[in-house]
Amino acid sequence: MKAAKIRLYVEHALGEGQTVPLTRDQAHYLFGVMRLLPGDAVSLFNGRDGEWRAEVVEAGKRGGTLACTGQSGAQRNPPDLWLLFAPIKKARTDFIVEKATEMGAAKILPVQTEFTNAERIRQDRLQAHATEAAEQCGGTFVPKVTALQRLSKVLEQWPADRQLMFCDEALAGDTPTLPDRFAGQPWAILIGPEGGFSEAERARLSALDVAHPVALGPRILRADTAAVAAMTLWQIQLGDWR
Amino acid sequence: MKAAKIRLYVEHALGEGQTVPLTRDQAHYLFGVMRLLPGDAVSLFNGRDGEWRAEVVEAGKRGGTLACTGQSGAQRNPPDLWLLFAPIKKARTDFIVEKATEMGAAKILPVQTEFTNAERIRQDRLQAHATEAAEQCGGTFVPKVTALQRLSKVLEQWPADRQLMFCDEALAGDTPTLPDRFAGQPWAILIGPEGGFSEAERARLSALDVAHPVALGPRILRADTAAVAAMTLWQIQLGDWR
């Protein structure tokens, strides 16, 4: 059997004997760009039903149909980990969303801090980046990218049972270790903005019972580097890399 | 005293009472772009003498002079860690060099694997990226970026005392732990190309006494994500993040 090289996220239910209608964009990608023909294979996932092999039944310019031919992988959800970050320049914001998806975030929350310049984000664009990253990285889960919110607001309503690892470049040299007793619990990682946190933000963060300040080595990391490093640290110690 | 926001890498010796002539590019950056005037402050490092405060003595269009006014930080070299990677698309190759610098690589070695498309790299460009990343991340060390070499050649001449962590996406699920007895020794990290290693490469790597295969979680990571994740893993366990 020819292996399906193309992985596609769809909204539709997947299962034995299930047919899957394609949107115009998906049809354009599969038949216009990738030149698939009836009978060709694709891998599908929808964030709920695992990964399925499917084959092209109908290929059209504005639509088409696939049919599931068998399950090729179980549904795998990431740990209950949120990534909060302050949006920066466009390309790096895109990268953070992509990397957070690859690294196994369950939800991605852009936040506006006092020293963040970004007044708005393109939520749909960022969501599309998360979807594409999930397609690329072999995952079966697409994290939701939320709307831009003020960090102060997010912290006011912070869930009491969600631990928060916050990466502060003002800290230096501490060995980053996370308490093992919080493994398996809801967590979040907050990456500081490139201008750092304000004193008020730092005070508010430190006052949270669930906050775990962590230093990321002796050099200053850009926000996108810090996101990957922090998620690695967490995944190794408490997440699904263990 | 006004804090020096600008950090500049120079080749020249730095020390008490030392004056530092500027190249045309540096003068353009400081006086044309950043609009510094005589008396303004800059931070300098050269990879050997730590970080120095300096002030502008002469500002010209094609050159200028700075004078060291005091040491602001000791020289800090990263651990003896090489990063080997297979160059990919231009932007991501640039990112890998930038990230490797921030994460504390001592040397960056682009290597050509059997499944690498890149036939050549712009070594000077990549070196400039490393320098800029060192300026940005507050480091006092700039890793050297070597010329593109064949991985097979590099492995043939592999130093017997340098441990090699190699990241292989064909491995899955192993907890990444590095033997503590090799802390403080020379190391290298090899990031696989996006197409994976060939069977011959995998065999050659596995045959090395100093090789340590490591899996990076259950999802497939892009090479630039893998570089940061692998270096985080190493820095936490054996490097200068401990």
Residue B127: inside a domain = yes
Q: Domains in chain B: how many in total?
A: 2
Give the confidence band of A1 by pLDDT, cuts at 50, 70, 90. very low
Q: Are residues A68 and A165 in the same domain?
A: no
Residue B1: inside a domain = no
Closest to A240 (Cβ–Cβ): which among B218, B231, B241? B218
Give B136's contacts in chain A (Cβ within 8 Å): 220, 222
> Of A24, A54, A73, which residue sits at a domain end?
A73
Cβ <8 Å between B217 and A235: yes
> Of B73, B93, B128, which residue sits at a domain end?
B73
Cβ <8 Å between B232 and A228: yes
> Of B52, B73, B94, which residue sits at a domain end?
B73
Alpha helices in chain B (DSSP H): 24-27, 90-103, 123-136, 151-156, 199-207, 223-237
Cβ <8 Å between A219 and B176: no
Q: What is the pLDDT along chain B (242 residues), one digit of tens a residue?
A: 344 589 999 999 999 999 999 999 999 999 999 999 999 999 999 999 999 999 999 999 899 999 999 999 999 999 999 999 999 777 789 999 999 999 999 999 999 999 887 778 899 999 999 999 999 988 999 999 999 999 999 999 999 999 999 987 766 666 567 888 999 999 999 998 877 889 999 999 989 999 998 989 989 899 999 999 999 999 999 999 88
Cβ <8 Å between A229 and B232: yes
Give B241's contacts in chain A (Cβ within 8 Å): 175-176, 216-218
pLDDT at A4: 57
Q: Are residues A30 and A120 in the same domain?
A: no
Give the confidence band of A2 by pLDDT, cuts at 50, 70, 90. very low
E strands, chain A, where?
7-9, 19-22, 41-45, 51-59, 64-73, 81-85, 107-112, 144-145, 149-150, 163-167, 187-191, 211-214
Beta carbons within 8 Å of A6's beta carbon, 6+ residues apart: A30, A34, A36, A42, A43
Structural domain boundaries enclosing B11: 7-73
Q: Are residues A45 and A110 in the same domain?
A: no
Q: Are residues A42 and A97 in the same domain?
A: no
Residue A1: inside a domain = no
Cβ <8 Å between B232 and A235: no
Residue A104: inside a domain = yes
Cβ <8 Å between A219 and B95: no
Residue B24: inside a domain = yes
> Beta strand A187-191 with A81-85: parallel, antiparallel or unpaired?
parallel
Beta carbons within 8 Å of A205's beta carbon, 6+ residues apart: A155, A164, A166, A190, A197, A211, A213
Q: Are residues B126 and B164 in the same domain?
A: yes
Chain A nearest C-alpha distance from B222 (Å): 8
Q: Are residues B213 and B110 in the same domain?
A: yes
Cβ <8 Å between B103 and A220: no
Q: Are residues B128 and B204 in the same domain?
A: yes
Residue A242: inside a domain = no
Residues A176-223 pLDDT 10s: 678 889 999 999 999 988 778 999 999 999 899 999 989 899 898 999
Residue B139: inside a domain = yes
Phi-psi domain of B184 (left: phi exceeds 0; alpha: psi -120 through 50; beta: other): left
Q: How crowded is the C-beta side of B38, counted as CA atoms within 13 Å?
A: 7
Q: For residue A18, give the CATH number of its domain.
A: 2.40.240.20
Q: Are residues A203 and A166 in the same domain?
A: yes
Q: Are residues B32 and B97 in the same domain?
A: no
Give B232's contacts in chain A (Cβ within 8 Å): 228-229, 232-233
Q: Are residues A123 and A48 in the same domain?
A: no
Q: For residue A105, give the CATH number of its domain.
A: 3.40.1280.10
Q: Are residues B220 and B117 in the same domain?
A: yes
Closest to B76 (Cβ–Cβ): which among A218, A236, A242? A218
- Crossing angle for the helix pair B223-237 and A223-237, nearest 10 degrees? 60
Residue B242: inside a domain = no
Q: Are residues A68 and A94 in the same domain?
A: no
Q: Which residues pair with B188 in a beta bridge?
A: B82, B164
